[in-house]
Amino acid sequence: MINPYFLLFASMVLGILLGKIKIKDFRLGASGALFFGLFIGWLFPNFLRSEEDILQFRSTFNVFFNFSLILFVSSIGLIASKDIKRTFKKAGYKYAILGFLVTFVGFLVTFLFLMLTDLDKYNLVGVFSGSLTSSPGLASALESIDKPSEIIYGYTVGYIPGVLAVIFGMHILSVLFKRGNNVACDMDSKEGAHNLENGSFNVLAYALLVAIGILIGEININLKFATLKLGKTGGILLSTLFFGSFERIGKIKFDFDKHILKSIQNIGLVMFLSSIGLRSGYSVVTNFDKYSLYLMVISFAVAVISILVGYLVGRYVFKLDWVILLGAITGGMTSTPGLGAAIDVAKSEKVITGYAATYPFALLGMVIFNKVFSFFV
């Protein structure tokens, strides 16, 4: 068995180096880890002896995927916690509308393909969640519709095009609307400088918040039309946003050094993107055929149209700050890879605030729209 730790860190190293290559104003940044992960994830399973070894290879990277997701989401929640109240009071209804809007556009485009084509309807339901890279969406689809293998296939095929669409979308939008990274950095230096040097990191408090978040994510919230489960991402985000807004509770301090949080965020993101590629590369390439290509194209189209509509409404109707808007769009897609790309483009912590403000409403939207799908398939 090939050492998975070596493959993970090799993918991270090579991905970071690839991400540093700049062509005009474009570079992949942390997303380079995804591409090398896909390549390595396809290449090395070909040297394994049996299908069982390949399954074990992929399941190993599921562990890395979940652990890195915890690191990334917990750090962004704690970073955003200091500004989320002020941001939400200022324009809360706009983020609520955007959260629903982005998921609704994705649902609408998928629904049109479902009605107008002969493609498997259950595959397309999976593509909806895959195109928005939404694990909570997949969970709600599986709960609402009793066709797990077909839905999971659509999600798996649609996930990588969804990731690629949001990564390139963040870069293209930043160029299209001619907003340079230096502007974002200047804003952060003025508004957030007082918060940069806390000089401490309480491991006990950090572990406690993650543990509480995981427990919250396991709670089933019974709604009239469906059962909502936040999952690890939603639970940890909620826990860190809430407790991080306090300096301390009793003797436990929740005031973390932002430099340390940003280091956790960066390593979590690169590891997360690498593990996505490593666990998906083999199945994406080996299962590629004409039918899967159709689903991939649909997934890419769903993601691109959702991003574009979200940006146009946020920019020209709600007139939101462009940096916060990038985060709001990725939050509307419940897209963790998208958030990483948005942070890379904007170089600003305001992105995280936008993500945190729209995410809960998008999560609810994914549950509602997957329930609607159940009436048509």
H-helix or E-strand spanning residue 228? strand 227-229
Q: Tens of pLDDT along 299-347? A: 999 999 999 999 999 989 998 888 889 999 998 887 777 787 788 777 7
- Count CB-CB contacts under 10 A for residue 190: 8
Short-list 97, 94, 107, CA closest to 305: 107
Residue 222 β-bridge partners: 227
Distant-in-sequence, close-in-space partners of 140: CB < 8 Å, separation ≥ 6? 129, 226, 228, 229, 366, 367, 370, 371
200 within 8 A of 256, measured Cβ to Cβ: yes
Phi, psi of 3 (to 5 degrees): -65, 115
- For the chain, counts of helices (H) and of strands (E): 15, 6
pLDDT at position 224 is 64
pLDDT at position 49 is 61
Decide if pLDDT at 18 tops 80.
yes
Residue 27 β-bridge partners: 22
315 within 8 A of 174, measured Cβ to Cβ: no
Token pair for 64: 């890395």
Q: Tens of pLDDT along 181-204? A: 444 443 443 444 344 445 578 889
Token pair for 222: 């019974």
CA distance 84 to 71: 20
Stretch 258-283: mean pLDDT: 84
CA distance 331 to 358: 5
pLDDT at position 108 is 96
129 within 8 A of 138, measured Cβ to Cβ: yes
pTM of the model: 0.71
* H-helix segments, 81-180: 84-116, 121-131, 135-144, 148-176
Please give the radius of gyration of the chain, using alpha carbons only, rounded to the nearest integer.
Answer: 20
pLDDT at position 210 is 93
